[in-house]
């Protein structure tokens, strides 16, 4: 028994909210194949949620799933973050995890936000406590953080999908403690009342093409938890 999808005349073009990084990685490669016109708005996770609540966008790509009445999410993918440091960084050989934590706490850090979003997750997962770090620099762009690392401004946690596109003949950064990776889920969020709208489903099918193990229809994969 199938669920009927319906067209929405108000969704032309479809309005998308995303961070610049998620747009670059997950939407930009699919634009030429979309049979949809699009308008994109950039922001962080909280700003994107507000855009969706106010119906200024039709859907969002986000790495935070907020418990908000009337909004549902589809899990799109999982990204992995690793510590990236300037190439000249000398890393001692540590035997104990607490020695790594002490050394990392003494380094200069570049953060995506003042609240240390990924750095805090990393510390909680591996060191079982919050980080005692005051970031040297706060730069709300993963691509620009990598450039700052290359310039020797500090180290940071960056997603591996950004790094794989940045391997040159003479890289100026390196991954340290590669075995210590932290994972973050990426979701597509939308209004519950739009879960059967045709263009919403078409968009999710298109951006999910490369994620082999994910369901293809929003009405089959929606999750309001």
Per DSSP, the residues of 128-147 read SS------SEE-S-HHHHHH
Residue 173 domain-assigned? yes
| Range of the structural domain that residue 98 is part of | 79-183
Residue 8 domain-assigned? no
Together in a domain, 27 and 62: yes
18-37 residues labelled b (16+ CB within 10 A) or e (exposed): bbbbbbbbbbeebeeebeee
Residue 190 domain-assigned? yes
| pLDDT number for residue 124 | 95
| pLDDT number for residue 220 | 32
Token reading at 97: 């995890």
Residue 162 domain-assigned? yes
Total domains present in the chain: 2
The angle formed by the CA atoms of residues 123, 128 and 131, to the nearest 5 degrees, is 35
Together in a domain, 178 and 93: yes
Do residues 94 and 126 lie in contact, with contact meaning Cβ atoms separated by under 8 Å? no
Task: Find the CATH number of the domain harbouring 162.
Answer: 3.40.190.10
pLDDT tens-digit profile, the chain (225 residues): 344 444 454 567 899 999 988 998 889 888 888 888 899 999 988 999 999 999 999 999 998 899 999 999 999 999 999 999 999 999 999 989 999 999 999 999 999 988 898 999 999 999 999 999 999 999 989 999 999 999 999 999 999 988 876 656 678 999 999 999 999 899 999 999 998 888 888 888 888 876 544 333 333 333 333
Contact partners, residue 50, CB within 8 Å, separation at least 6: none
Together in a domain, 67 and 136: no
Contact partners, residue 144, CB within 8 Å, separation at least 6: none
Together in a domain, 91 and 171: yes
Together in a domain, 41 and 69: yes
């Amino acid at each position: 028994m199938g669920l009927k999808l319906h067209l929405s005349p108000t969704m032309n073009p479809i309005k998308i909210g995303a961070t610049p990084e998620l747009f670059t990685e997950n939407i930009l490669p699919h634009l030429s194949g979309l049979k949809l016109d699009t308008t994109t708005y950039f922001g962080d996770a909280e700003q994107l949620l507000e855009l969706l609540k106010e119906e200024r966008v039709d859907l969002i790509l986000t790495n935070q799933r907020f418990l908000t009445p009337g909004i549902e999410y589809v899990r799109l993918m999982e990204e992995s973050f690793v510590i990236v440091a300037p190439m000249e960084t000398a890393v001692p050989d540590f035997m104990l995890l607490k020695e790594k934590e002490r050394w990392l706490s003494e380094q200069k850090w570049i953060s995506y936000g003042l609240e240390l979003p990924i750095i805090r997750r990393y510390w909680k997962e591996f060191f079982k406590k919050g980080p005692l770090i005051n970031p040297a620099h706060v730069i709300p762009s993963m691509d620009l953080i990598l450039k700052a690392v290359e310039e020797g401004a500090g180290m940071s946690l960056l997603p591996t999908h950004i790094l794989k596109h940045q391997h040159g003949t003479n890289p100026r950064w390196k991954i340290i403690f590669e075995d210590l990776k932290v994972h973050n889920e990426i979701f597509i969020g939308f209004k519950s009342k739009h879960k059967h709208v045709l263009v919403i489903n078409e968009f999710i099918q298109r951006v999910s093409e490369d994620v082999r193990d994910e369901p293809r229809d929003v009405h089959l994969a929606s999750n309001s938890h």
